[in-house]
Amino acid sequence: MNTKLHAVTDANDRPLSFFITARQVSDYTGAAALLDDLPKAKWMLADRGYDADWFRDALEQKGIKPCIPGGKSRSLPVRYDKRRYKRRNRIEIMFGRLKDWRRVATRHDRCPTVYFSALALAATVLFCL
């Protein structure tokens, strides 16, 4: 019943793709799953959970500049654009709008496929219609 939702959004904060993992699974699993779904972009905004050297390298190979703050366990701090990183709150707003739908917020469905379908329906109604 505990799940974590990973999403890729466009510049207008509309969701493009989703991936669901169990709550105890690392964010790196979601990052690896969504790496192929990334659109052409100049920047990638993500939180500290996605801070990994392999993920940064993969983004740079795609021509995307990572704007991810370094994790607390890093010995050398990572440089990132703090001004641009402030826009990450718009992604949290997108998640908040999805959770306006009670079925998505409370996660009554035991089956992940049914939950994912409800999530896709909510995203379609909220962001595409």
According to the model, what pLDDT value does residue 24 have? 87
CATH number for the segment(s) 3-127? 3.30.420.10
Query: Tokens at residue 10, please?
Result: 């466009």
For the chain, the structural domain boundaries read 3-127
pLDDT at res. 43 = 92
Q: Are 48 and 71 in contact (CB under 8 A)?
A: yes
Question: Which are the contacts of 52, defined by CB distance < 8 A and separation ≥ 6?
Answer: 28, 31
Give the pLDDT score at 1.
Answer: 58
Instruction: Say if residues 47 and 88 touch (Cβ distance below 8 Å).
Output: yes
CB atoms within 10 A of CB 11: 11
d(CA 5, CA 102): 16
| Per-residue pLDDT of the chain in tens (129 residues, 90 and over written 9) | 578 889 999 888 899 999 998 888 888 898 999 998 888 899 999 988 899 999 999 999 999 999 999 888 888 889 999 999 999 888 899 999 999 988 888 887 778 888 899 999 999 999 988
The whole-number pLDDT of residue 127 equals 92
